[in-house]
Amino acid sequence: MALLEVQGLTAGYGIVQVLFGLDFSVDAGEAVVILGANGSGKTTTLRAVSGMIAAGGAVRFDGRSVRGMRPDRLVAAGVSHVPQGRGTISDLTVDENLRAGAYSRRDRGIAADIEHWYSVFPRLGERRDQAAGSMSGGEQQMLAIARAFMSRPRLVLLDEPSLGLAPLVTREVFDRVGDLVRDTGTAVLVVEQNANLALAFASRAYVLEAGRIVNQGSSDELRGDESIRQAYLGS
């Protein structure tokens, strides 16, 4: 059984429908990408899954329906969402952002977890008392990812991590998230338009166009697909 199972997902803003019945799934510990160009509905998909906007269809996490669940409850249930633009809480320090990431937890391991993430991302440790908003885009992306893991999720939703980052930094972000999937066994669903990096990172991919899934398969299959090559890989 899939960890996240989405069937017939519909969503929109006001009278404008953006998603027209999406089916996709993520298995435990799996890295999956939804590829799509600007305006195809990538961000809307993640927002619908995490309960930030009203959605139709079925969203099941770990076998139980989570559609319409409040975002903070969903975090407690095991799903973390790194929003578009990273969503660091800019007035809080790096340390406070990580503590905020553990808000849903009641256990005593929080301080140890924060130290763990400082060892994974040493740059965050150096800047622990600095306001998050004053850091570079790449550092903020690392912070957002570490913060998402602070709730000890089983699934992380990652919204276009490449946005606004230099190519080298983007590559580093994907490398680090790939390490995390392997090391922690946490599943990651990433939406991206950078197909090269995303397909190298994920084991499976869906292609989203104008609110519909038009193609899917393993990353290797899709890398070889002629239409994908033309639309996303520039060759």
Q: Phi then psi for 219, rounded to 5 degrees?
A: -60, -35
Residue 235: half-sphere exposure toward Cβ, Cα within 13 Å: 6
- In the complex with other proteins, which residue's Cβ is closer, 114 or 195? 114
- In the complex with other proteins, which residue's Cβ is closer, 146 or 180? 146
Residue ranges in contact with other proteins by CB under 8 A: 50, 52, 70-72, 75-76, 80-83, 87-92, 96, 99-101, 103-104, 147-148, 150-151
- In the complex with other proteins, which residue's Cβ is closer, 72 or 179? 72
- In the complex with other proteins, which residue's Cβ is closer, 124 or 148? 148
Q: How far is the CB of 101 from other proteins (least distance, A)?
A: 5
229: region left, alpha or beta (phi > 0 left; psi from -120 to 50 alpha): alpha
Q: How far is the CB of 51 from other proteins (least distance, A)?
A: 9
Q: How far is the CB of 72 from other proteins (least distance, A)?
A: 5
Q: How far is the CB of 199 from other proteins (least distance, A)?
A: 26
Residues 6 or more apart from 35 whose CB is under 8 A from it? Answer: 191, 192, 193, 195, 198, 199, 205, 206, 207, 208, 222, 228, 232
Q: How far is the CB of 222 from other proteins (least distance, A)?
A: 29
- In the complex with other proteins, which residue's Cβ is closer, 100 or 120? 100
